Amino acid sequence: MNPAFLLIFHIIQIFLFLILGLPVLYIFIFALAGLFYRQPRYLKAEKYYRIAVMIPGYKEDFVIREVAADALLQDYPKDCFDVVIIADSFQPETVDYLKSLPIKVIEVKFDKSTKAKALNRAMELLPEKYDIAVVLDADNLMAPGFLSKINAVFNRGCIAVQGHRKAKNVDTPLAVLDAVSEEINNHIFRKGHRVTGLSSAIIGSGMAFQYSYFKDLMLNVTAIGGFDKDIELRMLREGKNILYLNDAVVLDEKVQQAEVFSNQRRRWLSAQLVYFRRDFFSALGALITKGNIDYFDKAIQFIQPPRILLLGAVLFFGCLFTGLNLLFLTADSYAVTWMVIILMCLLAFLFSVPGYFYNMTTLKALLSLPKGMFLMLGSLLKIKGANKQFIHTQHSAKASSKP
What structural domains and CATH numbers belong to the chain? 3-36+276-386 (no CATH), 51-257 (3.90.550.10)
Closest CA to 272 of 387, 162, 183, 137: 387
The single-letter code of the amino acid at 351 is F
Name the average pLDDT for the chain.
88
Q: Using the predicted structure, report yes or no on whether residue 266 has a pLDDT greater than 70.
A: no
Quick one: average pLDDT of 123-137?
95
Q: What percent of the chain has pLDDT over 70?
A: 88
Of the pLDDT bands very low, low, confident and very high (cuts 50, 70, 90), residue 400 is very low
Of the pLDDT bands very low, low, confident and very high (cuts 50, 70, 90), residue 401 is very low
Report the C-alpha gap between 16 and 315 in whole angstroms. 12
Of the pLDDT bands very low, low, confident and very high (cuts 50, 70, 90), residue 91 is very high
Report the C-alpha gap between 186 and 174 in whole angstroms. 18
- Residue 135 is classified by DSSP as E
Contact 201, 190 (CB under 8 A): yes
Predicted confidence (pLDDT) per residue in 154-189, tens digit: 999 899 999 999 998 888 888 898 899 999 999 999
**Whole-prediction pTM:** 0.88
Quick one: average pLDDT of 215-230?
84
Of the pLDDT bands very low, low, confident and very high (cuts 50, 70, 90), residue 350 is very high
* Helix and strand counts by DSSP (H, E) for the chain: 16, 8
Of the pLDDT bands very low, low, confident and very high (cuts 50, 70, 90), residue 258 is low
Burial grade of 112 (CB within 10 A; 0-12, 13-18, 19 or more): exposed
Report the C-alpha gap between 243 and 158 in whole angstroms. 8
Of the pLDDT bands very low, low, confident and very high (cuts 50, 70, 90), residue 105 is very high
| pLDDT the model gives residue 327 | 83
Range of weakest confidence among 33-37, 272-276, 283-287, 361-365: 272-276
